[in-house]
Amino acid sequence: MTERRQLRPTDVKRLNRDWRRRTGSRLGLLIESVTQPFNIGSIVRSAAVFGVDHIWLAGNATPLDHRNVTKTALGTERLITWEHAGTAAEAAAAVRKSGLRLIAVELTTDAVPLHQAPLDGDVCLAVGGEDHGCSPALLTAADAVTYIPQIGRVGSLNVAVATAIALAETRRREWTTP
């Protein structure tokens, strides 16, 4: 039986470099009106892990340089460019100007399950505030809407967790498509 051991830091760097070589699509993130610094910091950390190129903030989203965001993000906020792009419509226009399709993560009547969402190519995922999700303006501006199927007795996920799942699925799809 082979002994299992945790990877050393140099092994982790090598492993991550191999995955980066398999990654060609651009990935953006639009965060609308997420106000809790812990949630923003957690989202930023996941965004850094999955190679998000740029973050657009909209509405009253807490900025990445807020001291409690940086505490949770553990320095990863320095690895991603970001801007406050104004309203949801203005942020969506900025996303499109950068050449990305906009896919909102939200429960709507026309949303498709995440595993069927059009996540191929250069995309920007959009997530909304803790209490009300994506605004009607953001949903109207989105090219498509997806949701995360859930079978438990809880009807929703924390926005940071939902964002991490959607980012992971977007990259997984890229890595497993022949």
Report pLDDT digits (tens) over 21-69.
Answer: 989 999 999 999 999 999 999 999 999 999 999 999 999 999 999 999 9
Tokens describing residue 26: 């651009």
- The confidence score (pLDDT) of residue 156 equals 86
Kindly report the backbone phi and psi dihedral angles of residue 42, in degrees, each rounded to the nearest multiple of 5, phi listed first: -65, -40
Query: What domains, with CATH codes, occur in the chain?
Result: 25-176 (3.40.1280.10)
- The confidence score (pLDDT) of residue 53 equals 96
> Which parts of the chain register pLDDT below 50?
none
Contacts of 36 by beta carbon, 8 Å cutoff, 6+ apart: 62, 130
Crossing angle between the packed helical segments 159-176 and 37-49, to the nearest 10 degrees: 10
Give the span between the Cα atoms of 103 and 117, in whole angstroms: 8
- The confidence score (pLDDT) of residue 90 equals 98
Largest Cα span, the chain: 57
Its pTM stands at 0.95
Q: Where are the alpha helices (DSSP H) in 22-158?
A: 37-49, 67-73, 88-97, 136-141
